[in-house]
Amino acid sequence: DAMVIQNPRYQVTQFGKPVTLSCSQTLNHNVMYWYQQKSSQAPKLLFHYYDKDFNNEADTPDNFQSRRPNTSFCFLDIRSPGLGDAAMYLCATSRDFGLLEAFFGQGTRLTVV
Amino acid sequence: GESVGLHLPTLSVQEGDNSIINCAYSNSASDYFIWYKQESGKGPQFIIDIRSNMDKRQGQRVTVLLNKTVKHLSLQIAATQPGDSAVYFCAENNSGGGADGLTFGKGTHLIIQP
């Protein structure tokens, strides 16, 4: 059974049109992460939540926002998608920081047209 | 820049042979390392992990070796199978560094030839 679920698997959005990607988890983990992965590259951390505490990576563009309304759900909002934002977006969870593996969802492939 | 990197972007091996995927890291404070397997169109899947107080850990057909002296990590896959074809990422974490996610290396694409 899937423990980290991302919806949708594939998302097409128009240039400049806001889009939201969703992630849910059944693990009751404290930490939820969003990664961006472009073709043939490693996943790059955008931001994460520890419970309700939000931590943004220094080089994450302001165009990317996140919400975590409760333990189970976390959303990635892209306010004005550009062509360069086309990528796979991965959600991951971990029970805590450090020394613990992160569980990944299957990802959402975002296409910007 | 990235603190974790891989030596080879592509590794091709014959089915049944053993494969070794290498990874170098630069953050000497990193104390936890993970190998992930990512198949095309899917999210990374945990394979095996190792803590910095160990130099070797074995799983089913996989072994991870850690050499802290030269900051090198390797993943050995025994008797490779077609299903092992994927991109393999090493990732590091620093438990003492506060709230950080995993830092991934660039990935090695393992190709299993029949």
pLDDT, one tens digit per residue, over A7-60 is 999 999 999 999 999 999 999 999 999 999 998 888 998 999 999 999 998 889
Cross-chain Cβ contact A99/B51 below 8 Å: yes
Cβ neighbours of residue A59 closer than 8 Å, sequence gap 6 or more: none
Per-residue pLDDT 10s for chain B (114 aa) are 344 554 458 999 999 999 999 998 878 888 889 999 999 888 899 899 999 999 999 999 999 999 999 999 999 999 999 999 999 999 888 655 444 667 888 889 999 999
User: CB pairs below 8 Å between A and B: how many?
Assistant: 68
B98: closest chain A residue by CA? A97
How far does A107 lie from chain B, in Å, by closest CA?
A: 6
Cβ neighbours of residue B109 closer than 8 Å, sequence gap 6 or more: B9, B10, B11, B86, B87, B88
Cross-chain Cβ contact A97/B100 below 8 Å: yes
β-strand partners of B110: B11, B86
pLDDT, one tens digit per residue, over A61-72 is 999 999 999 999
How far does B4 lie from chain A, in Å, by closest CA?
A: 10
Cross-chain Cβ contact B89/A92 below 8 Å: no
In the prediction, which pLDDT does A5 show? 95
In the prediction, which pLDDT does B96 show? 52
Per-residue pLDDT at A101 exceeds 70? yes
In the prediction, which pLDDT does B63 show? 97
CA distance linking residue A82 with residue A113, whole number of Å:
9
In the prediction, which pLDDT does B6 show? 44
Burial state string for A12-45 with b = 16 or more CB within 10 A and e = fewer than 16: ebeeeeebebbbbbeeebebbbbbbbeeeebbbb
Nearest to A42 among B51, B101, B104 (CB): B104
